[in-house]
Amino acid sequence: MTNIKNRIDELTKILNDANYNYYVLANSIITDQEYDKYLRELEELEEKYPEYSFEDSPTKRVGGEVIDSFKKVYHEKPMLSLSDVFSESEVISFDERIKKEGINPQYVCELKIDGLSVSLLYKEGILVRAATRGDGVVGEDITHNAKTIKSIPLSLKEKIDIEVRGEIFMSKETLEKLNRERIKNNEKPLQNTRNAAAGSIRQLDSKIAAKRSLDSYIYHLPNPEDYGIKTHMEALDFMKNLGFKTNPNNRLVNNINEVLEFISEKTDTRDKLPYDIDGIVIKVNSFEYQNKLGFTAKYPKWATAYKFPAEEVLTKLRDIIFTVGRTGQITPNAVLDPVIVMGSTISRATLHNEDYVIEKDLHIGDIVSIRKAGDVIPEVVEVKKDRRTGLEKKFVMIDKCPICNSKLVKKGDQVDYYCINDHCPSRKIEGLIHFASRDAMNIDGLGDKIVEDFFNFGFIKEVSDIYLLQSHREDLTRLEGYGDKKITNLIEAIEKSKENSLEKLLFGLGISHVGSKTAKILASNYHNMDNLINASFDSLNSIRDIGDIIAESVVDYFKDERNINIINKLKSFGLNMEYLGKKIIQNSFFSGKTFVLTGSLILYSREKGKEIIESLGGKTSESVSKKTDYVIVGDNPGKKYEKALELGINILTEREFQEKIENN
C-alpha cells in the first residue's frame, strides 16, 4: 500500500510541477502525451484509493464540482478599488499630493488587467478558498471554479497561511476561440474578455469554468507585515517565489517621469499583449509610505489607475430610426455603418430624444465619431461637419408611432414623446421583455428575440401567457432555431421564476414609477400582493421614500380591472405572491440592542453596517444616550465617542464588530 501512496504522491508532484512550469513560467518540461498518461494513471489510482489522494491533486483541476449557490465570504481586509485618472496632468497631480505629505516615493507600475479581482486564501500552503470582490466587504465563494485555473497554485512552495489578491482574466485568443464555437452553436458571441471571464467564474458547474481556460495574475499582498515584507516589489517577488503568476511587465521606477514613460510605452504596445488591459496601475512601493498615506472611504491614497482614453472611431450615420419603449416612450436611434470600437461591433447608438439630435445637429448621411468607454453604452460624440457633401438629409421628428401609427403625445413639458396606445404591439413586447429581465422575474432564455417571436406567433400576448408556454411545447420545438433542449431549459426557468420574491414580480409588472428599488420597499412593507392591492394612497404615502407620484401610480394600477385579472391568473398558475426578503434573525448578539456607528469605518460603509445590524435584529441610532448598548468606533471618532466614554457605554472596534457578525 505504501507503494501506491508513494506513487500517488510522485504523480501529484510531477503533474503539479509540469503544470506550474507550463502555465506560470511558460516552459514545457514534459510532453502533452506524458502529461495525459500520468494524469490518467493518477485518476485511476485515486478512484481506487481515494484515501490517498492529496488536497492539491491536479485531478481537481478538471472541474466536476457543482454547487447550488454561491456562499458569501467576508473579506477580512476590504477589497478596495482604485481611483481613476485620465490624463498625464492628473498623474502628475497624484504625485504632487503624495509629495505634499513629505514623501518622495519610488513607484511600481503595473498593467491594469481587464478581468475580475479575486482573493485567494491558503492554509498551510493549500488553497482553501477563492472569493470574488463583491461589494468589497462581502464577496462570493468561487473556490470550485478557481481550482480549474491552471496558473492558480493548488499548493504553494511553502506551507504557510496567506491571502493574496489578483486578477482572473481570459486571453484574447481564448475569447476568439470561444466565440467561434458559440457562433457555430447559434449562440450570441461574448462582447469582451472581461464579461467572458466574469461569466465563466459565475458558473455553478466548474466543468464550464474549466473549459474556458482562464488565467491569473497576482498583484496584491494584503498583510505583508506578517511576512516581514517592506515594499510592494518585494511582495511581488515573494508571491512569485511561492508559485504565483506575477506579471513580468511590473516595473519599479524612481519618479513620476519614469511612470509617464511606462504609460506611454504601454499605450503604444497594448494591442500586442495577449490579454486586454484598460490602463496602468501606479502604486507607492514602500509599505511604510503606503501606511502613512492611508485610505479615503473608497480608495487607497497610495495608488491610482491611469485609464486609457476611450477609443473614438469615425463611421457613417445611415439612418435614424425610432423605437418604442415599454412605457411608450419614443427613442431615436442612430443606425451606423458597423465599426469595431474597443473590441465590439457597434451598429446602433441611442440618440436619447429629439432635443439631443437637434443639439448635435445630426443629419442622415453625416460622418460621426463614436465612442465607447469600457462597459458604457456607445455614444455619438460629434458630427464631422467638414466631411459634409451637401447630400445629407435633415432630421425630422416623427409624430405617429412607428409601430401602431397612433398619434404621439408629449407629457407636460418633458422632451420625450410617447405612444399612449395600450395595445401598441411594440409596447407590449417591451413590457414582456421587461417582465422576463434579470432584475424582474429573471427568466433565463426569454430574451428580446424570443419574446418578439413568441409574441408574433401569438404564443404570448400578456405576461400570464408565459406560464402557459409549456402547453405549446410541441409547437415551440418545431419552430426554426428552438430545439428541444432550448425549450426544456426555458420551461424550467419559467417554472423556477414562480418562486421569486414579491418585489421581482412587482418590478416585472411594470407599474409606472416603480423601479426595482421601489418594488423592494413596497414588498417589504406590505409583505404580500393582497395587502398591496388593498393599500390606500395615504398608507402608501406614509412610507419613507414613497411620495405622491408613486403612491398614486400604485393605486391607479390596482384599480384597473385588467391588471387585477392578470394578477389573479398569475396566482392561479402558482406564482409566489409573498415577500421572501431577509427574515430578521432572532437571538443573535445584536437582537434587541441599539447601536451607534461613529468615525470613519473602513470595512463597512455606514449604510452597510446599519443594514447588517438590522438584518441581525438590532437597532441603530444616530445619537448616543443611556439607551445605547454599543458604540462602534472607526477612525477619528468625534463627540459621539467621547459621550460614550462619559456614559460608560460599551465600545466595539470595527474589527470586533466584524467578529460579532461572523460569529452569528
**Active-site residue set:** 112
- Least Cβ distance, residue 229 to ligand IVH (angstroms): 15
Distance CA 10, CA 157 (A): 16
- Least Cβ distance, residue 141 to ligand IVH (angstroms): 18
Count Cβ atoms below 10 Å from residue 464 Cβ, excluding itself: 19
Distance CA 441, CA 320 (A): 32
**For residue 180, what is the enclosing H or E element?**
helix 172-184
- Least Cβ distance, residue 246 to ligand IVH (angstroms): 10
**Between residues 56 and 110, which has the closer beta carbon with respect to ligand IVH?**
110
Question: Are 611 and 664 in contact, with CB atoms under 8 Å apart?
Answer: no
Start-to-end C-alpha separation, the chain? 45
CA 568, chain centre distance (Å): 35
- Least Cβ distance, residue 117 to ligand IVH (angstroms): 3
- Least Cβ distance, residue 164 to ligand IVH (angstroms): 12
**Between residues 303 and 661, which has the closer beta carbon with respect to ligand IVH?**
303
Q: What is the 3-state secondary structure (H, E, C) of 381-427?
A: EEECHHHCCCCCEECCCCCECCCCCCEEEECCCCCCEEECCCCCHHH
Dihedral (CA of 337, 340, 346, 351) sign: negative
The cell 463611421 sits on which residue?
A: 315
- Least Cβ distance, residue 21 to ligand IVH (angstroms): 24
Closest residue (Cβ) to ligand IVH?
117
- Least Cβ distance, residue 26 to ligand IVH (angstroms): 19
Which of these, 383, 381, 362, 265, lies nearest to 312 by C-alpha position? 381
- Least Cβ distance, residue 220 to ligand IVH (angstroms): 5
- Least Cβ distance, residue 15 to ligand IVH (angstroms): 29
- Which residues, listed in sequence order, are joined to residue 116 by a DSSP beta bridge? 168
- Least Cβ distance, residue 103 to ligand IVH (angstroms): 18
Distance CA 270, CA 216 (A): 18
Question: Are 14 and 38 in contact, with CB atoms under 8 Å apart?
Answer: yes
The cell 483541476 sits on which residue?
A: 61
> Cβ contacts of residue 508 below 8 Å, gap of 6+?
434, 435, 436, 437, 440, 441, 463
Q: Which amino acid is present at 212?
A: R
C-alpha distances in Å from residue 596, one per residue of 205, 645, 649, 651, 652: 42, 13, 10, 10, 10
Q: In which order are the strands placed within the sheet that holds 215-220?
A: 126-132, 116-123, 162-169, 215-220
Distance CA 149, CA 69 (A): 20
Angle at alpha carbon of residue 138, lines to 137 and 143, rounded to 5°: 125
Count Cβ atoms below 10 Å from residue 294 Cβ, excluding itself: 12
CA dihedral angle for residue 44, residue 46, residue 47, residue 50, rounded to 10 degrees: 170
Which positions lie near ligand IVH, rule CB under 6 A? Answer: 80-82, 110, 112-113, 117, 133, 167, 219-220, 281, 300, 303, 305
Distance CA 219, CA 236 (A): 7
Question: Are 197 and 169 in contact, with CB atoms under 8 Å apart?
Answer: yes
The cell 451606423 sits on which residue?
A: 336
**Between residues 110 and 503, which has the closer beta carbon with respect to ligand IVH?**
110
- Least Cβ distance, residue 116 to ligand IVH (angstroms): 6
State the greatest distance between any 2 C-alpha atoms of the chain, in Å, as a whole number: 88
**Between residues 85 and 351, which has the closer beta carbon with respect to ligand IVH?**
85
Distance CA 66, CA 209 (A): 11
**Between residues 114 and 430, which has the closer beta carbon with respect to ligand IVH?**
114
